[in-house]
Amino acid sequence: MRAGGEGPPVGRRVVLGMLGLGAAGVAAGPYLQRAVEGVASKDPTGLSDLLPGGGGFRYYSVTGSVPVRTAADYTLTVGGLVDRPTTYRLADLQALRQRRIVHDVQCVTGWRVPGTPFEGVPLADLLQAAGVRPEATAVSFGCFDGSYTESLTLDQAQREDVLVALRMQDQPLGHAHGGPVRLYVAPMYFYKSAKWLDSITLTSTVQPGYWEHFGYDVDAWVGRSNGRDDAPTG
Ligand SMILES: Nc1nc2c(c(=O)[nH]1)N[C@H]1C(S)=C(S)[C@@H](COP(=O)(O)O)O[C@H]1N2
Ligand SMILES: [Mo]
């Protein structure tokens, strides 16, 4: 595993198989996931995991399969160093103040999707509702794929352009993009935007996330980290 690749290459047989799945394969999430079982899902050619209809987005998961969660069974917990640990259902999140942000998406492997709308609850609002304790300095994010993690400093987490996103491209967030709920960190490389978000934990120190154990920068400002000089996103 090396930084910048987000996983080993996918074999030719798998690439051909996945291209054959087309849109139906993506809609039928579990079938697509079987096709990538046993290989990391990142193909540096970008062929195998371009999302049909995704407008340039690529599908990423560090796990071979991800359970589907819906409004019926999805929960998000906010806990750790807070006065009021809270569990939200999807409808609870939908009832809170929503903010819509249109910004470029930039992956650290190089691809960019300009002007992408995301909409959701400002993370700062959830932190304020939970009552952050004085000893908390950072926030960790957990995912229901069972493997991926991310983190932010408390200052970063309280920015208005960091969302617990329920919508992307003006539609409910689909499973392939991390639905029903993903983190969205507008000013940072997209690896900070953890998909399938199910826990938010206030901590006393920054806990490096999944890719950060493989060398990605913990502070992931676009154009000012990871040895990259991408043009600023806007
Ligand atoms: N749970 C989870 N979140 C994740 C990832 C992942 O593998 N698992 N990959 C990250 C990376 S490297 C990128 S570029 C984006 C890709 O988002 P997309 O699949 O919606 O294009 O998700 C980020 N969040
Ligand atoms: Mo990425």
> Could you read off the pLDDT of 8-57 as tens digits, one per residue?
434 333 333 333 333 333 333 333 333 333 333 444 444 446 666 567 89
DSSP for 162-198, please give it: EEEEEEETTEEPPGGGTTT-EEEETTB-GGGS-SSEE
pLDDT at 136: 98
Q: Cα of 22 to ligand 2 centre, how many Å?
A: 22
Strand (E) or helix (H) holding 199: strand 197-203
Atom number in ligand 1 closest to CA 177:
20
Q: Which domains are present in the chain?
A: 7-65 (no CATH), 75-214 (3.90.420.10)
Please name the residue that has the structure tokens 């200052």. 155
pLDDT at 6: 75
pLDDT at 7: 60
Mean pLDDT over each residue of the chain, to the nearest integer: 84
Considering only residues 51 and 189, tell me which one the structure prediction assigns the higher pLDDT: 189
Specify the residue with its C-alpha closest to ligand 1, atom 23: 191
Q: Cα of 196 to ligand 1 centre, how many Å?
A: 9
Q: Say if residue 178's pLDDT is above 50.
A: yes
Helix, strand or coil, per DSSP, at residue 169: coil
pLDDT at 54: 67
Q: Cα of 213 to ligand 1 centre, how many Å?
A: 15
Specify the residue with its C-alpha closest to ligand 1, atom 8: 61
Output the six-digit token pair for 8.
Answer: 């080993």
Considering only residues 144 and 53, tell me which one the structure prediction assigns the higher pLDDT: 144
Comparing 54-63, 99-108, 175-184, 208-217, which segment has the lowest mean pLDDT? 54-63
- What is the rounded CA–CA span in Å between residue 233 and residue 118? 14
- What is the rounded CA–CA span in Å between residue 40 and residue 9? 8
Strand (E) or helix (H) holding 100: strand 99-106
Q: Say if residue 165's pLDDT is above 80.
A: yes
Contact between residue 155 and residue 127 where contact means Cβ atoms under 8 Å apart = no
Q: Which residues surround ligand 2, an ion (CB under 5 A)?
A: 107, 190-191
Could you give the C-alpha distances from 194 to 147, 189, 209, in angstroms and in order? 11, 11, 10
Mutation probe of ligand 1 site: the residue of 190, 211, 226 with most atoms within 8 A of C-beta? 190
Ligand nearest to the CA of 36: 1
Q: Name, in order, each residue with C-beta under 8 angstroms of 94's C-beta and a sequence gap of 6 or more.
A: 166
CA 169, 195, 181, 154 dihedral sign is negative
Comparing 33-47, 60-74, 89-103, which segment has the lowest mean pLDDT? 33-47
